[in-house]
Amino acid sequence: MKKFNIFTLLIVFAFVFMLSCSSSITSNETSENNLNNFPDASMVVIEDTITKTGVTVEFEYTGSNQGQYGAWYSIEVYQDDQWQELPYIIDNVAFNAMAYLVETGVKKQQVIVWEWLYGELASGRYRVTINFIDHVGPGDYSEFLLSSEFEIE
């Protein structure tokens, strides 16, 4: 049991290190070509959890490595036939450098509350995007953007 706890702690530290070394994701990177292009992972919004201030998403990972995601997310609105990133309602936004593990074959849910970051959303078509990591080992990983659409009525 002690070896497992040490291994988990090392993975979390490795993920935090990777996040601190990687560049920030920009709205240019959330183009349609860069979303949901990792066949071993998916993310969906759970329909009955949608509110004006948050949603619950569910991850599924089928790969042979270790699936991970962090605290960062982005909300976009569909307007004028294109996706547009919502502006933050506060300055100096920062997300915690967390590593949430997604075990192979086990669905994992995450509650996202964006009221602090975007306020209450108006009626419309939206999508949430989250950075997902396929972690092979220390320094050996690939990053992907998972996205799921939802509507607020």
> Hey, what domains does the chain have and what are their CATH numbers?
2-152 (2.60.40)
- Could you tell me if 69 and 100 are in contact, meaning their C-beta atoms sit under 8 angstroms apart? yes
* Beta bridge partner(s), residue 60: 42
Residue 131 bridge partners (DSSP): 145
Distances in Å between the Cα of 56 and the Cα atoms of 8, 34, 65, 150 are 25, 22, 24, 11
pLDDT in tens, 15-39: 444 433 343 444 434 556 789 989 9
Residue 132 is encoded by which pair of tokens? Answer: 């997902």
Q: Residue 34: what pLDDT?
A: 84
Sign for the CA dihedral angle at 104, 145, 7, 111 comes to negative
pLDDT digits (tens, 9 = 90+) for 102-138: 999 999 999 999 999 999 999 999 999 999 999 999 9
Encoded tokens for 118 = 């975007």
pLDDT score of 15:
44
pLDDT, position 147: 98
Please say whether the beta carbons of 15 and 21 come within 8 A.
no
Q: Residue 41: which residues within 8 A CB-CB, separation 6 or more?
A: 59, 60, 61, 62, 63, 67, 102, 132, 134, 144, 146
State residue 20 phi and psi, 5-degree precision: -70, -25
